[in-house]
């Protein structure tokens, strides 16, 4: 993957649900980690475990990108909010307004 600071979406193979996440150079092994970690606590792993579904990792799509880490976090939360089939926990977007406010005050 050439663009390393991205927001990505992984569709479920068995239902319309999608997992939305972000990847940065620090998290570059995260996608591979999902494939091989059986007892992780992410929403993606929870959906696979609870529903006995598989995610189509090969069909991962890039939704957005930004080289600014904080802006990328906001873009991830916005994508989660926009996607009504997202399996992500609601807690993933709880920081949206707070972080957005901080960005407005520091980015003028």
Interacting residue with Zn ion among 14, 40, 46, 92 (CB under 5 A): 14
Using CA atoms in the order 99, 90, 29, 64, what is the torsion angle rounded to 10 degrees?
-60
Residues near 51 by beta carbon (within 8 Å), at least 6 away in sequence = 12, 14, 15
Residue closer to Zn ion by CB (options 12, 73) is: 12
18 binds Zn ion (CB under 5 A): no
Binding Zn ion (rule: CB under 5 A), the pick from 7, 10, 12, 80 is 12
- The structure tokens listed for 86 are 């997202």
Q: Which residues contact Zn ion (rule: CB under 5 A)?
A: 12, 14-15, 17, 51, 53
């Amino acid at each position: 993957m050439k663009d390393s600071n991205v927001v990505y979406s992984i569709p479920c193979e068995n239902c319309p649900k999608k997992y939305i996440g972000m990847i940065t150079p620090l998290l570059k092994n995260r996608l591979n980690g999902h494939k091989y970690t059986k007892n992780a606590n992410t929403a993606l792993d929870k959906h696979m475990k609870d529903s006995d579904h598989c995610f189509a990792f090969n069909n991962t799509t890039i939704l957005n990108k930004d080289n600014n880490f904080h802006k990328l976090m906001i873009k991830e939360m916005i994508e989660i909010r926009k996607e009504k089939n997202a399996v992500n926990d609601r807690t993933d977007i709880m920081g949206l307004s707070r972080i957005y406010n901080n960005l407005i005050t520091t980015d003028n």
